[in-house]
Amino acid sequence: MTAVLRTHELGKRYRQRWALTDCTLDIPAGRVVGLVGRNGAGKTTLLNMAVGQLEPTTGTIEVLGGRPASGAAQLAKVGYVAQDTPTYSGLSVAEHLRLGARLNPAWDDTLAQDRVGRLGLDPTQRAGKLSGGQRAQLALTLGIAKRPQLLVLDEPVAALDPIARREFLQALMEAAAEQELSVLLSSHLVADLERVCDYLIVIDAARVRVAGEIEDLLASHHRLTGPRRDLDTLPADQHVVTASHTDRQTTLVIRTNSTIHDPAWTVSELDLEDLVLAYMSSQGTTDRNHSPRPSLAVQR
């Protein structure tokens, strides 16, 4: 099976600042991939390179076996719902669908009409008059009816209220089930990703901190607490993600594929939120000189 996204040492620099560096990924098709990280961590940069709106500064990127935006066939394979689910506020719902039909060779008009009907959208209504949730659903309809093999969504639910957010994710998952669609979506809400994703990429300060099948990630990460000890004395196959010490106690988050035998440790499991936070805090504060916007939100 072709990888849906394969990158090798991918990087993007804006003038002096690297928005993404050393990004190497290999994601199989058929997954719902969650890309999580703070605002400004490099999520949008990666997504924009995947859909071909940005050229890499270094490294290579391949989407569904082709170079992003390299031709009409490649463009037809990838759908993109950009940040804040943009629509044309002056155009009506029906005009959006006509535009979609005009621009996309594989446009599925039955599906688009059916979705608009089920959502109860008035075809003559201008997009500017729709609610945030309805606008997001309209943008999703355009993305789905294009019949892509991969649908990329940048923070699709960030601006939505809880009900609109749930309805959006329901529609997205329904499409994923029905059309055997691969999905790549970014979010700073771990709780949203937990239900819908089966593959996770954590990105922080322009670097991929961890990537993998969520099930494998949860099975291989553990929190260890025990008497204070030196990290050099750990078995070689225990990779330390975070470590904190008091005078007497050591608490670690580690990644390992083998069983933890040392009786000195109390071992507990991590949930997805713990895991994401562990990777986002393990970076340290050395090269983070800017944090203008709120950091990762972990609300439920």
Partner 1 sequence: MELRVIEFHLDSRSGVSPYQQLVRQVRHALRLGLLRKGDQLPTVKDVVAALAINPNTVLKAYRELEHEGLVAARPGLGTFVTATLTDGSLAAHQPLSQDLRRWLAKARLAGLDEESIEALFMATFRASTREEIA
In whole angstroms, the minimum distance from the beta carbon of 75 to partner 1 comes to 26
Count of residues in contact with partner 1, rule CB under 8 A: 24
**Options 94, 111, 196, 240; binder of partner 1; rule CB under 8 A:** 196
Q: 127 or 199: whose CB is closer to partner 1?
A: 199
**Sequential DSSP letters for the chain:** --EEEEEEEEEEEETTEEEEEEEEEEEETT-EEEEE--TTSSHHHHHHHHTTSS--SEEEEEETTB-TTSSHHHHHHEEEE-TT----TTSBHHHHHHHHHHH-TT--HHHHHHHHHHHT--TTSBGGGS-HHHHHHHHHHHHHHT--SEEEEESTTTTS-HHHHHHHHHHHHHHHHHHT-EEEEEESBHHHHHHH-SEEEEEETTEEEEEEEHHHHHHHEEEEEEE---GGGS-TT-EEEEEEE-SSEEEEEEE-SS----TTPEEEE--HHHHHHHHHHTT-STT-----S---B---
Could you say whether residue 109 binds partner 1 (CB under 8 A)? no
- The amino acid at residue 172 is L
Closest separation in Å from C-beta 285 to partner 1: 31
Binding segment for partner 1 (CB under 8 A), chosen from 87-95, 120-128, 140-148, 188-196, is 188-196
Q: Which of 174, 216, 237, 262 binds partner 1 (CB under 8 A)?
A: 174
Q: Is 191 a residue that touches partner 1 (CB under 8 A)?
A: yes
Task: Output 49 or 200, the one with its CB closest to partner 1.
Answer: 200
* Gyration radius from the chain CA atoms: 21
Letters for 137-166 (x = contact with partner 1 by CB under 8 A, - = none) are -----------------------------x
- Report the nearest approach of partner 1 to the CB of residue 260 (Å): 19
Closest CB to partner 1 among residues 174, 287: 174
Site string for partner 1, 13-52 (x = CB under 8 A): -----------------xxx--------------------
Per CB under 8 A, contacts with partner 1 among 237-296 are 269, 271
Interface with partner 1, residue 177, by CB under 8 A: yes
Does residue 119 belong to the site contacting partner 1 (CB under 8 A)? no
List interacting residues with partner 1 (CB under 8 A). Answer: 30-32, 166, 169-174, 176-178, 191, 194-198, 215, 218, 269, 271, 300
